Every structure is written in C-alpha cells, then in structure tokens.
C-alpha cells in the first residue's frame, strides 16, 4: 500500500528566475499587461495605479526587492531539502499548462501523463517577449539539449484507472504533443527543486486552471486531490509519495488579504472555504490556486507544517505575484 508522506506547495513565477536587476525591469513592462479586479472584471494598469494611491510605493525599492528575492530563494532551498530528506519513491506534480502543450484544438480539463519519461528542453520564445524576459523564461529549462526525466508510469496508470472508477473523465497521455518538452509548471520543479534528485520519478497531473469554459471548479479540484490520495493508498507497491502543487498565489495583482485567507484555510483544513471560493477570484495567474486546492484535498491527513509568504510587489500599482512556499508533513 502506498502512502502520501509529504506535501509541497511552490510558486513558479518567472520572478523566481530573475536577478535583482531584472526585478527592476518588470515595473516598466507591467503597464502593457492585462489585469483583473477581485470580481474577475478587466481593469487597466492606470486604474490600479489610481486606486493604489501610493500605498505600494515603499514596496517597490531595490532594497525591498532584494529582501523578497532572498526570502523566496531561501524558501525554495528549504523545499528542495524537504524533498531530498523525505526518501520518496515518487512525486505527483499538480500543475497547469498555459497553452504551451495543449492548445485551442484540444484543451483537457484534467490530464495525467503516463509515459516512461517526460522530455525537458528549451521552448521557443514568444514573439512578444523582450530579450531580457525571454532570458528569464529560458531559465525554466536546461541551457542546451534534452533531458528525459523518469516518470512512475505504473503509478500514473493506476491513478488514471482510479480516477475513471471515481467518476473523473481523466485524459491520458503517454507522449507530449508535437514532441515538445514539458511546460514551465513542471520544468520549474525539475530545474529548481529536484536538482539533487534528477532520478526521482514524477507523475505529472495537468489541470486547466486558466482557460474557460472547462476550468475545474474549486470543489472538483479538492475532490481530485482526495482521489489522488486514495489512488496512492490503493497502489500495490509500498511507495512513499509526495504531492506537489505548482503555481500561485494571487497574480498579476497581489492580493495579500485574499492570499492570507487562503493560507489560513489550508492551515486549518477548512475544506468548505477552499471548495466554495468564487471562480471570479481564480482568474489569470490566480487561477493556479486550483493546484493548491487539489493538493489540499490530497493532504488532508498531514498538517501544514511550514509556510513562507512573500508578497512580491513590482510596481506602485500593486502588480506582482503573491509568492508562496509550503510543506505538509507529520
């Protein structure tokens, strides 16, 4: 019988690939991006700036950026150490795909990858990326060549079968579309958290957090996590498994109050609060909180042992990312 022995939550923002000097370059770029208010309605950068009324000016200094970047990397180092010490047999990664692999012609709400390995290599830069941002994005991946990271295919196939029996319409894939490499939500885990354990088999679980009309509801995400745990526990081999949520929290407008309420619900295992979150709060980058909700469902039996929250503002309009890092363990 398998056992879920560890839970990990991690942001995977490109800000975590950036140098301090590069953090300073986000603010001039941010007015060109799309934003949403807490009701999920589009809002302009200029409106956000006017509403901020100077509240975030003190957050956007080089010294504050340096402090937060250091805290985030210390948290990532801690997560990598937790994974290394846990003596795991497999790592289930719940992440999203931002139309990297799954496009408008085929966009599954839920997919489990079960190939023997998953390819990891540089992805082409998007035409709209300026050079410095393209460089940051490239750091999700090895500099050159291709790495085929191991997948626990037996556990993945068992998970797929269990999900189908449990009423989930799980899409199964044993190779990535167009022979491309894994998306950034999964590449970040391999590149940053598993550097000391490149041979640790993973089970990639893709959720469509971003794109209507088939985003899973928060309640469905939580139930998925519960089903993942049940699948691990019914697996024939006595494997030690961790479940990892990749992404989040609020972005591209930092909502500290919302993030801290979310963390409190994780800490107190307040399933009703997590499963009834208004979908309007989970749009754009904040949609990745669905991955954390799924992890919370899988980790009901483990306490939230440690959490680090870094509100990474990058402009006086309050834009940025609510970076969060967490560990569940007994």
pLDDT value at position 323? Answer: 98
Average pLDDT rounded to a whole number, residues 50-71: 97
pLDDT value at position 218? Answer: 98
What residue ranges in the chain does DSSP mark as E strands? 3-10, 35-36, 42-43, 90-96, 110-113, 117-121, 146-150, 171-173, 202-207, 240-246, 251-253, 304-313, 319-328
Answer with the residue of higher pLDDT: 145 or 76: 76
Could you tell me the two tokens for 107? 């966009």
Cβ of 29: how many Cβ atoms within 10 Å? 14
Could you tell me the two tokens for 86? 């846990």
Task: Please say if the pLDDT value at position 126 is more than 90.
Answer: no
pLDDT value at position 144? Answer: 86
Task: Express each pLDDT in 233-285 by its tens digit.
Answer: 999 999 999 999 999 999 999 999 999 999 999 999 999 999 999 999 999 99
Q: What is the Cα–Cα distance from 311 to 318, expressed in whole angstroms?
A: 10
With 0-12 CB in 10 A as exposed, 13-18 as middle and 19+ as buried, what is 121?
middle
Task: Please say if the pLDDT value at position 190 is more than 90.
Answer: yes
Q: What is the Cα–Cα distance from 8 to 193, expressed in whole angstroms?
A: 10
**What are the percentages of helix, strand and coil residues in the chain, rounded to 5?**
40, 20, 35
pLDDT category of residue 100 using cuts at 50, 70 and 90: very high
Angle at 230 between CA 227 and CA 235, to 5 degrees: 125
In the chain, where the domains are located: 3-328
- The CATH code belonging to domain 3-328 is 3.40.830.10
Give which of 97, 181, 113, 188 is closest to 151, Cα–Cα: 113
pLDDT value at position 5? Answer: 98
Q: What is the Cα–Cα distance from 250 to 320, expressed in whole angstroms?
A: 8
pLDDT value at position 125? Answer: 86
Q: What is the Cα–Cα distance from 50 to 193, expressed in whole angstroms?
A: 39
First and final CA of the chain: distance in angstroms?
18
pLDDT category of residue 315 using cuts at 50, 70 and 90: very high
pLDDT value at position 179? Answer: 86
Distances (CA, A) of 288 to 21, 32, 77, 153, 219: 27, 22, 22, 25, 14
Q: What is the Cα–Cα distance from 27 to 57, expressed in whole angstroms?
A: 12
Q: Please report the DSSP string for 168-199 in residue order.
A: ---EEESS-GGGPPPPHHHHHIIIIISTT-TT
Angle at 277 between CA 94 and CA 222, to 5 degrees: 35
Give which of 150, 146, 147 is closest to 90, Cα–Cα: 150
Task: Please say if the pLDDT value at position 134 is more than 90.
Answer: yes
Task: Please say if the pLDDT value at position 330 is more than 90.
Answer: no
pLDDT value at position 186? Answer: 98
Cβ of 268: how many Cβ atoms within 10 Å? 10
pLDDT value at position 39? Answer: 87
pLDDT value at position 234? Answer: 98
Task: Express each pLDDT in 205-228 by its tens digit.
Answer: 999 999 999 999 999 999 999 999
Q: What is the Cα–Cα distance from 81 to 72, expressed in whole angstroms?
A: 14
172 forms bridges with which residues in the sheet? 112
């Amino acid at each position: 019988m398998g056992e879920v022995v560890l839970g990990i939550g991690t942001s995977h923002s490109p800000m975590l690939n950036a140098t301090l000097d590069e953090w300073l370059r986000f603010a001039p770029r941010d007015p060109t991006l799309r934003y949403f208010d807490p009701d999920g309605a589009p809002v302009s950068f200029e409106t956000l700036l006017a509403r901020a009324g100077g509240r975030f000016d003190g957050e956007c200094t080089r010294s504050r950026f340096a402090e937060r970047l250091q805290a985030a990397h210390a948290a990532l180092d801690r997560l990598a150490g937790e994974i290394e010490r846990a003596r795991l047999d497999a790592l289930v990664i719940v992440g999203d795909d931002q139309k990297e692999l799954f496009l408008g012609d085929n966009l599954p709400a839920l997919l489990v990858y079960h190939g023997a390995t998953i390819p990891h290599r540089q992805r082409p830069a998007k035409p709209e990326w300026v050079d410095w941002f393209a460089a940051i994005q490239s750091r999700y991946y090895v500099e050159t060549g291709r790495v085929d990271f191991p997948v626990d295919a037996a556990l993945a196939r068992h998970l797929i079968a269990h999900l189908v029996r449990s009423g989930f319409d799980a899409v199964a894939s044993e190779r990535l579309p167009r022979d491309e490499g894994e998306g950034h939500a999964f590449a970040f885990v391999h590149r940053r958290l598993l550097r000391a354990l490149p041979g640790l088999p993973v089970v990639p679980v893709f959720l469509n957090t971003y794109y209507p009309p088939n985003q899973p509801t928060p309640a469905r995400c939580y139930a998925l996590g519960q089903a993942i745990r049940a699948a691990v526990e019914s697996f024939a081999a006595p494997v030690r498994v961790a479940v990892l949520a990749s992404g989040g929290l609020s972005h591209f407008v930092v909502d500290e109050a919302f993030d801290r309420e979310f963390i409190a619900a994780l800490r107190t295992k307040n399933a009703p609060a997590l499963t009834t979150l208004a979908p309007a709060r989970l749009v754009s980058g904040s949609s990745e909180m669905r991955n954390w909700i799924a992890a919370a469902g899988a980790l009901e039996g483990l306490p939230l042992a440690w959490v680090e929250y870094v509100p990474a503002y990058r402009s006086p309009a309050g834009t940025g990312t609510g970076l969060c890092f967490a560990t569940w363990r007994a």
